[in-house]
A and B are shown apart, each in its own frame.
Chain A
Amino acid sequence: MRWRRLCCVAFLALAPRLEGQDARLTERLALPTAAAVQQLVDSAATAGLPTEPLIDLALEGAAKGATDQRIVAAVDRLWLALRSAAEALGAGASPGEIILGAYGLRQGMSPANLMTLRAGRPGDLTVPLTVALDLAGRGVLPDSATAAIIELAPRGDRDLRRLVQEVDRSLAGGGTPEEAWHSARLRFGP
Protein backbone atom coordinates (compact mmCIF):
# COMPACT_ATOMS: atom_id res chain seq x y z
CA MET A 1 0.00 0.00 0.00
CA ARG A 2 2.84 2.32 0.90
CA TRP A 3 4.48 1.64 -2.48
CA ARG A 4 1.28 2.31 -4.33
CA ARG A 5 0.78 5.57 -2.48
CA LEU A 6 4.36 6.62 -3.14
CA CYS A 7 4.06 5.84 -6.87
CA CYS A 8 0.82 7.82 -7.13
CA VAL A 9 2.28 10.79 -5.26
CA ALA A 10 5.44 10.74 -7.41
CA PHE A 11 3.44 10.49 -10.61
CA LEU A 12 1.06 13.27 -9.62
CA ALA A 13 4.01 15.48 -8.70
CA LEU A 14 5.72 14.83 -12.04
CA ALA A 15 2.69 14.84 -14.32
CA PRO A 16 2.10 18.60 -14.53
CA ARG A 17 5.77 19.18 -15.46
CA LEU A 18 5.89 16.38 -18.00
CA GLU A 19 2.60 17.40 -19.58
CA GLY A 20 3.92 20.84 -20.49
CA GLN A 21 7.22 19.57 -21.90
CA ASP A 22 7.84 19.32 -25.62
CA ALA A 23 8.58 15.64 -26.27
CA ARG A 24 11.35 16.51 -28.74
CA LEU A 25 13.26 18.34 -26.02
CA THR A 26 13.05 15.53 -23.49
CA GLU A 27 14.04 12.99 -26.14
CA ARG A 28 17.12 14.82 -27.36
CA LEU A 29 18.40 16.85 -24.41
CA ALA A 30 19.50 16.07 -20.88
CA LEU A 31 16.53 16.58 -18.58
CA PRO A 32 17.86 19.73 -16.81
CA THR A 33 18.70 21.28 -20.21
CA ALA A 34 15.30 20.35 -21.58
CA ALA A 35 13.70 21.93 -18.52
CA ALA A 36 15.74 25.14 -18.93
CA VAL A 37 14.84 25.39 -22.63
CA GLN A 38 11.22 24.63 -21.83
CA GLN A 39 11.21 27.51 -19.36
CA LEU A 40 12.36 29.87 -22.11
CA VAL A 41 9.78 28.40 -24.49
CA ASP A 42 7.02 28.92 -21.92
CA SER A 43 8.21 32.43 -21.26
CA ALA A 44 8.18 33.19 -25.00
CA ALA A 45 4.64 31.84 -25.27
CA THR A 46 3.56 34.06 -22.38
CA ALA A 47 5.13 37.06 -24.13
CA GLY A 48 3.26 36.21 -27.34
CA LEU A 49 6.44 35.26 -29.21
CA PRO A 50 6.80 32.28 -31.59
CA THR A 51 8.19 29.28 -29.73
CA GLU A 52 9.09 26.87 -32.52
CA PRO A 53 12.42 28.57 -33.42
CA LEU A 54 13.58 28.15 -29.80
CA ILE A 55 12.86 24.42 -29.84
CA ASP A 56 14.43 24.15 -33.28
CA LEU A 57 17.63 25.84 -32.09
CA ALA A 58 17.88 23.55 -29.07
CA LEU A 59 17.48 20.51 -31.32
CA GLU A 60 20.14 21.89 -33.65
CA GLY A 61 22.53 22.29 -30.71
CA ALA A 62 21.82 18.77 -29.51
CA ALA A 63 22.41 17.36 -33.00
CA LYS A 64 25.70 19.23 -33.24
CA GLY A 65 26.85 17.95 -29.86
CA ALA A 66 26.97 21.40 -28.22
CA THR A 67 27.30 21.58 -24.46
CA ASP A 68 24.19 22.09 -22.36
CA GLN A 69 25.27 25.59 -21.32
CA ARG A 70 25.87 26.57 -24.93
CA ILE A 71 22.48 25.33 -26.00
CA VAL A 72 20.66 27.22 -23.25
CA ALA A 73 22.69 30.38 -23.93
CA ALA A 74 21.92 30.20 -27.66
CA VAL A 75 18.21 29.70 -27.01
CA ASP A 76 18.29 32.64 -24.60
CA ARG A 77 19.92 34.87 -27.23
CA LEU A 78 17.31 33.89 -29.79
CA TRP A 79 14.58 34.62 -27.24
CA LEU A 80 15.96 38.16 -26.92
CA ALA A 81 16.20 38.53 -30.70
CA LEU A 82 12.58 37.43 -31.09
CA ARG A 83 11.49 39.98 -28.53
CA SER A 84 13.51 42.77 -30.19
CA ALA A 85 12.12 41.84 -33.59
CA ALA A 86 8.55 41.81 -32.26
CA GLU A 87 9.05 45.23 -30.69
CA ALA A 88 10.63 46.68 -33.85
CA LEU A 89 8.00 45.26 -36.19
CA GLY A 90 5.10 46.45 -34.07
CA ALA A 91 2.02 44.98 -32.50
CA GLY A 92 0.52 43.54 -35.69
CA ALA A 93 3.58 41.51 -36.68
CA SER A 94 2.87 37.90 -37.68
CA PRO A 95 4.85 35.01 -36.17
CA GLY A 96 6.58 34.52 -39.55
CA GLU A 97 7.65 38.17 -39.65
CA ILE A 98 8.95 38.00 -36.09
CA ILE A 99 11.00 34.88 -36.81
CA LEU A 100 12.53 36.35 -39.96
CA GLY A 101 13.15 39.63 -38.15
CA ALA A 102 14.93 37.80 -35.32
CA TYR A 103 17.17 35.93 -37.74
CA GLY A 104 17.79 39.21 -39.54
CA LEU A 105 18.89 40.81 -36.27
CA ARG A 106 21.25 37.93 -35.61
CA GLN A 107 22.58 38.31 -39.14
CA GLY A 108 23.60 41.92 -38.58
CA MET A 109 20.42 43.86 -39.22
CA SER A 110 19.42 46.41 -36.60
CA PRO A 111 16.02 47.05 -35.03
CA ALA A 112 16.10 50.33 -36.98
CA ASN A 113 16.35 48.33 -40.24
CA LEU A 114 13.23 46.39 -39.24
CA MET A 115 11.37 49.57 -38.31
CA THR A 116 12.38 51.13 -41.64
CA LEU A 117 11.04 48.11 -43.52
CA ARG A 118 7.78 48.17 -41.57
CA ALA A 119 7.31 51.87 -42.24
CA GLY A 120 8.40 51.70 -45.88
CA ARG A 121 6.56 48.60 -47.07
CA PRO A 122 2.92 48.40 -46.17
CA GLY A 123 1.38 44.96 -45.84
CA ASP A 124 2.96 41.62 -45.16
CA LEU A 125 6.73 41.80 -44.71
CA THR A 126 7.45 38.10 -45.17
CA VAL A 127 8.99 38.40 -48.62
CA PRO A 128 10.94 41.64 -47.94
CA LEU A 129 12.33 40.16 -44.73
CA THR A 130 13.22 36.91 -46.46
CA VAL A 131 15.05 38.86 -49.14
CA ALA A 132 16.81 41.00 -46.52
CA LEU A 133 17.90 37.82 -44.71
CA ASP A 134 19.04 36.22 -47.96
CA LEU A 135 21.02 39.31 -48.92
CA ALA A 136 22.59 39.55 -45.46
CA GLY A 137 23.47 35.85 -45.78
CA ARG A 138 25.25 36.68 -49.01
CA GLY A 139 27.30 39.34 -47.29
CA VAL A 140 25.36 42.42 -48.41
CA LEU A 141 25.37 45.19 -45.80
CA PRO A 142 22.01 45.34 -44.00
CA ASP A 143 21.63 49.11 -44.49
CA SER A 144 22.17 48.77 -48.26
CA ALA A 145 19.76 45.83 -48.46
CA THR A 146 17.11 47.65 -46.43
CA ALA A 147 17.38 50.79 -48.55
CA ALA A 148 17.07 48.78 -51.77
CA ILE A 149 14.07 46.84 -50.51
CA ILE A 150 12.30 50.09 -49.63
CA GLU A 151 13.22 51.64 -53.00
CA LEU A 152 11.88 48.62 -54.86
CA ALA A 153 8.60 48.55 -52.96
CA PRO A 154 6.53 49.89 -55.88
CA ARG A 155 7.80 47.08 -58.12
CA GLY A 156 6.35 44.34 -55.91
CA ASP A 157 7.71 41.23 -54.26
CA ARG A 158 8.59 39.37 -57.45
CA ASP A 159 11.29 41.87 -58.32
CA LEU A 160 12.76 41.49 -54.86
CA ARG A 161 13.31 37.79 -55.53
CA ARG A 162 14.96 38.65 -58.83
CA LEU A 163 17.31 40.95 -56.95
CA VAL A 164 18.63 38.01 -54.94
CA GLN A 165 19.13 36.02 -58.14
CA GLU A 166 21.10 38.93 -59.62
CA VAL A 167 23.35 39.01 -56.56
CA ASP A 168 23.89 35.26 -56.88
CA ARG A 169 24.83 35.67 -60.52
CA SER A 170 27.32 38.41 -59.67
CA LEU A 171 28.78 36.36 -56.82
CA ALA A 172 29.19 33.39 -59.16
CA GLY A 173 31.20 35.74 -61.39
CA GLY A 174 33.78 35.98 -58.64
CA GLY A 175 33.31 39.37 -56.98
CA THR A 176 33.13 40.34 -53.34
CA PRO A 177 29.65 40.64 -51.82
CA GLU A 178 29.78 44.45 -52.07
CA GLU A 179 30.89 44.32 -55.72
CA ALA A 180 28.20 41.75 -56.45
CA TRP A 181 25.65 43.96 -54.77
CA HIS A 182 26.63 47.06 -56.76
CA SER A 183 26.63 45.28 -60.10
CA ALA A 184 23.29 43.65 -59.29
CA ARG A 185 21.82 47.03 -58.37
CA LEU A 186 23.15 48.55 -61.60
CA ARG A 187 21.66 45.78 -63.71
CA PHE A 188 18.45 45.93 -61.78
CA GLY A 189 17.95 49.65 -62.14
CA PRO A 190 16.31 52.09 -59.72
Chain B
Amino acid sequence: MTDRHEDLVERAGETLRGESGPPGMEERISRRVMAGIRDGAQRRRPRTAALRLGALAAGASAAAMMLWWLAGAGAGAGPDQTEPAPGATRHRFALVAPRATSVAVVGDFNDWDPQASRLRSGRNGTWTLELALPPGSHRYAFVVDGTHWLPDPASGATIADDFGDGNSIVTIVGRS
Protein backbone atom coordinates (compact mmCIF):
# COMPACT_ATOMS: atom_id res chain seq x y z
CA MET B 1 0.00 0.00 0.00
CA THR B 2 1.35 3.41 -0.82
CA ASP B 3 1.82 6.33 1.54
CA ARG B 4 -0.83 8.25 -0.36
CA HIS B 5 -3.38 5.52 0.22
CA GLU B 6 -2.51 5.28 3.90
CA ASP B 7 -2.88 9.02 4.23
CA LEU B 8 -6.27 8.93 2.57
CA VAL B 9 -7.43 6.08 4.81
CA GLU B 10 -6.22 7.89 7.89
CA ARG B 11 -8.05 11.05 6.87
CA ALA B 12 -11.23 9.09 6.05
CA GLY B 13 -11.05 7.39 9.45
CA GLU B 14 -10.50 10.68 11.23
CA THR B 15 -13.49 12.24 9.46
CA LEU B 16 -15.70 9.30 10.36
CA ARG B 17 -14.40 9.13 13.93
CA GLY B 18 -15.15 12.82 14.34
CA GLU B 19 -18.87 12.23 13.77
CA SER B 20 -21.01 11.59 16.79
CA GLY B 21 -22.47 8.14 17.03
CA PRO B 22 -23.22 5.29 19.33
CA PRO B 23 -20.49 3.89 21.60
CA GLY B 24 -18.13 1.46 19.86
CA MET B 25 -18.89 2.96 16.48
CA GLU B 26 -15.38 4.43 16.16
CA GLU B 27 -13.80 1.01 16.46
CA ARG B 28 -16.31 -0.60 14.08
CA ILE B 29 -15.75 2.11 11.53
CA SER B 30 -11.97 1.70 11.77
CA ARG B 31 -12.31 -2.07 11.34
CA ARG B 32 -14.65 -1.65 8.36
CA VAL B 33 -12.42 0.92 6.76
CA MET B 34 -9.33 -1.23 7.19
CA ALA B 35 -11.20 -4.30 5.99
CA GLY B 36 -12.38 -2.36 3.00
CA ILE B 37 -8.86 -1.26 2.25
CA ARG B 38 -7.50 -4.82 2.57
CA ASP B 39 -10.32 -6.08 0.40
CA GLY B 40 -9.69 -3.40 -2.17
CA ALA B 41 -5.99 -4.17 -2.14
CA GLN B 42 -6.69 -7.87 -2.67
CA ARG B 43 -9.03 -7.07 -5.55
CA ARG B 44 -6.49 -4.77 -7.13
CA ARG B 45 -3.55 -7.14 -6.80
CA PRO B 46 -4.56 -9.65 -9.53
CA ARG B 47 -5.29 -6.78 -11.91
CA THR B 48 -1.86 -5.24 -11.29
CA ALA B 49 -0.21 -8.61 -11.70
CA ALA B 50 -2.09 -9.21 -14.95
CA LEU B 51 -1.06 -5.79 -16.21
CA ARG B 52 2.58 -6.42 -15.30
CA LEU B 53 2.51 -9.86 -16.94
CA GLY B 54 0.93 -8.37 -20.04
CA ALA B 55 3.56 -5.65 -20.24
CA LEU B 56 6.33 -8.19 -19.68
CA ALA B 57 4.95 -10.46 -22.40
CA ALA B 58 4.62 -7.55 -24.82
CA GLY B 59 8.13 -6.36 -23.96
CA ALA B 60 9.56 -9.86 -24.35
CA SER B 61 7.88 -10.36 -27.72
CA ALA B 62 9.11 -6.94 -28.90
CA ALA B 63 12.62 -7.80 -27.69
CA ALA B 64 12.44 -11.17 -29.44
CA MET B 65 11.32 -9.49 -32.66
CA MET B 66 14.18 -6.94 -32.33
CA LEU B 67 16.72 -9.73 -31.80
CA TRP B 68 15.33 -11.61 -34.81
CA TRP B 69 15.58 -8.46 -36.89
CA LEU B 70 19.10 -7.62 -35.69
CA ALA B 71 20.27 -11.15 -36.43
CA GLY B 72 18.79 -10.98 -39.91
CA ALA B 73 20.19 -7.53 -40.68
CA GLY B 74 23.58 -8.34 -39.20
CA ALA B 75 23.92 -11.45 -41.28
CA GLY B 76 24.05 -9.52 -44.50
CA ALA B 77 26.01 -6.49 -43.33
CA GLY B 78 29.71 -5.93 -43.01
CA PRO B 79 32.65 -7.72 -44.47
CA ASP B 80 33.02 -11.42 -43.85
CA GLN B 81 35.97 -11.74 -41.50
CA THR B 82 36.12 -15.50 -41.69
CA GLU B 83 36.75 -16.08 -45.37
CA PRO B 84 38.87 -13.89 -47.66
CA ALA B 85 37.09 -12.44 -50.68
CA PRO B 86 37.66 -14.10 -54.06
CA GLY B 87 40.93 -12.91 -55.58
CA ALA B 88 42.17 -11.61 -52.24
CA THR B 89 45.91 -11.11 -51.89
CA ARG B 90 47.88 -11.03 -48.67
CA HIS B 91 49.30 -7.61 -47.95
CA ARG B 92 51.79 -6.87 -45.19
CA PHE B 93 51.24 -3.71 -43.16
CA ALA B 94 54.23 -2.45 -41.23
CA LEU B 95 54.93 0.55 -39.03
CA VAL B 96 58.07 1.45 -37.12
CA ALA B 97 56.91 2.78 -33.76
CA PRO B 98 59.32 1.79 -30.97
CA ARG B 99 57.50 3.73 -28.27
CA ALA B 100 54.02 2.54 -29.15
CA THR B 101 52.16 0.20 -26.84
CA SER B 102 49.63 -0.82 -29.50
CA VAL B 103 49.22 -0.34 -33.23
CA ALA B 104 46.15 -1.19 -35.31
CA VAL B 105 45.44 -0.82 -39.00
CA VAL B 106 42.02 0.48 -39.96
CA GLY B 107 40.55 0.92 -43.38
CA ASP B 108 37.70 0.24 -45.72
CA PHE B 109 38.52 -3.48 -45.45
CA ASN B 110 37.61 -3.70 -41.74
CA ASP B 111 34.95 -0.99 -41.40
CA TRP B 112 37.51 1.32 -39.76
CA ASP B 113 37.33 -0.67 -36.57
CA PRO B 114 40.46 -0.08 -34.42
CA GLN B 115 39.82 -3.35 -32.58
CA ALA B 116 39.65 -5.47 -35.73
CA SER B 117 43.26 -5.68 -36.97
CA ARG B 118 46.02 -5.20 -34.41
CA LEU B 119 49.64 -5.33 -35.53
CA ARG B 120 52.16 -7.48 -33.68
CA SER B 121 55.29 -6.01 -32.18
CA GLY B 122 58.56 -7.30 -33.62
CA ARG B 123 62.23 -6.38 -33.73
CA ASN B 124 63.42 -2.78 -33.64
CA GLY B 125 60.01 -1.44 -32.78
CA THR B 126 58.48 -2.64 -36.03
CA TRP B 127 54.84 -3.60 -35.88
CA THR B 128 53.49 -5.86 -38.61
CA LEU B 129 50.34 -7.61 -39.75
CA GLU B 130 49.38 -9.49 -42.89
CA LEU B 131 45.82 -9.23 -44.14
CA ALA B 132 44.06 -10.77 -47.12
CA LEU B 133 42.65 -7.87 -49.12
CA PRO B 134 40.33 -8.04 -52.12
CA PRO B 135 41.47 -6.48 -55.41
CA GLY B 136 41.08 -2.72 -55.71
CA SER B 137 42.30 0.47 -54.09
CA HIS B 138 41.92 0.51 -50.33
CA ARG B 139 42.12 3.48 -48.01
CA TYR B 140 43.71 2.87 -44.65
CA ALA B 141 45.53 4.43 -41.71
CA PHE B 142 47.30 3.33 -38.56
CA VAL B 143 46.02 3.95 -35.03
CA VAL B 144 48.84 4.15 -32.49
CA ASP B 145 48.05 3.64 -28.80
CA GLY B 146 44.35 3.76 -29.57
CA THR B 147 44.24 7.50 -30.14
CA HIS B 148 46.84 8.71 -32.63
CA TRP B 149 45.83 8.31 -36.27
CA LEU B 150 48.43 8.55 -39.01
CA PRO B 151 48.79 7.61 -42.66
CA ASP B 152 51.37 4.97 -43.54
CA PRO B 153 54.75 6.75 -43.76
CA ALA B 154 56.02 3.99 -46.06
CA SER B 155 53.20 4.39 -48.58
CA GLY B 156 53.84 6.66 -51.50
CA ALA B 157 50.18 7.49 -51.99
CA THR B 158 48.04 9.46 -49.62
CA ILE B 159 44.50 10.55 -50.23
CA ALA B 160 42.60 13.57 -49.03
CA ASP B 161 40.63 12.84 -45.91
CA ASP B 162 37.36 14.47 -44.88
CA PHE B 163 38.21 14.13 -41.24
CA GLY B 164 41.61 15.74 -41.07
CA ASP B 165 44.13 12.93 -40.66
CA GLY B 166 44.81 11.77 -44.22
CA ASN B 167 44.70 8.18 -45.41
CA SER B 168 47.07 5.99 -47.37
CA ILE B 169 46.13 3.95 -50.39
CA VAL B 170 47.07 0.38 -51.07
CA THR B 171 46.23 -1.08 -54.44
CA ILE B 172 45.67 -4.80 -54.66
CA VAL B 173 45.94 -6.10 -58.17
CA GLY B 174 43.55 -8.93 -58.99
CA ARG B 175 45.03 -12.21 -60.11
CA SER B 176 44.44 -12.50 -63.82
Q: Which chain A residues have a beta carbon within 8 Å of chain B's beta carbons? A: 1, 3-4, 6-8, 10-11, 15, 18-19, 21-24, 53, 56-57, 59-64, 66, 70, 73-74, 77-78, 96, 100, 103, 106-107, 126-127, 130, 133-134, 137-138, 161, 164, 167-168, 171
Inter-subunit contact A74/B163 (CB<8 Å): yes
- 5 nearest CB pairs, A to B: A137-B157, A74-B162, A63-B112, A7-B58, A4-B58
Inter-subunit contact B62/A134 (CB<8 Å): no
Question: Knowing A61-B162, A103-B137 touch, does A11 contact B113 (C-beta < 8 A)?
Answer: no
Inter-subunit contact A133/B137 (CB<8 Å): yes
Q: How near does chain B come to A141, taking the closest CB pair, in angstroms?
A: 15
Q: Indicate the member of B73, B158, B165 with the most A CB atoms within 10 Å.
A: B73
B3 contacts partner chain A, Cβ-Cβ < 8 Å: no
Inter-subunit contact B169/A134 (CB<8 Å): yes
Q: Compute how far the CA of A107 lies from the CA of B160 in the bound complex, rounded to whole angstroms.
A: 6
Interface size, chain B (Cβ < 8 Å): 38
State the majority secondary structure of interface residues on B.
mixed
Residues of B within 8 A of A130 (CB): 136-137, 171
Q: How near does chain B come to A110, taking the closest CB pair, in angstroms?
A: 15
Q: Indicate the member of B51, B55, B159 with the most A CB atoms within 10 Å.
A: B159
B74 contacts partner chain A, Cβ-Cβ < 8 Å: yes
Q: Compute how far the CA of A100 lies from the CA of B169 in the bound complex, rounded to whole angstroms.
A: 12
Inter-subunit contact B73/A23 (CB<8 Å): yes
Q: Compute how far the CA of A168 lies from the CA of B77 in the bound complex, rounded to whole angstroms.
A: 36
Q: Which chain B residues have a beta carbon within 8 Å of chain A's beta carbons? A: 51, 54-55, 57-59, 61-62, 65, 69-70, 73-74, 77-78, 106, 108, 111-114, 136-137, 139, 149, 156-160, 162-165, 167, 169, 171, 173
Inter-subunit contact B111/A4 (CB<8 Å): no
Residues of A within 8 A of B108 (CB): 53, 56, 60
Tell me which of A6, A96, A164, A168 contacts B136 (CB under 8 A).
A96
Chain A: CB-nearest residue to B114? A63
Q: Compute how far the CA of A77 lies from the CA of B161 in the bound complex, rounded to whole angstroms.
A: 12
Tell me which of B69, B74, B139 contacts A18 (CB under 8 A).
B69
Inter-subunit contact A137/B169 (CB<8 Å): yes
Inter-subunit contact A61/B159 (CB<8 Å): no
Q: How near does chain B come to A144, taking the closest CB pair, in angstroms?
A: 16
Q: Compute how far the CA of A70 lies from the CA of B160 in the bound complex, rounded to whole angstroms.
A: 15
Q: Compute how far the CA of A7 lies from the CA of B62 in the bound complex, rounded to whole angstroms.
A: 7
Given A4-B55, A133-B169, A137-B156, 9 more contacts at CB 8 Å? A15-B69, A53-B108, A60-B139, A61-B163, A66-B162, A77-B162, A100-B137, A133-B157, A134-B171
Can you report 11 A-B residue pairs in the complex whose CB atoms are below 8 A from each other? A4-B58, A15-B69, A18-B69, A21-B73, A23-B74, A24-B78, A73-B162, A74-B163, A96-B136, A133-B159, A137-B159
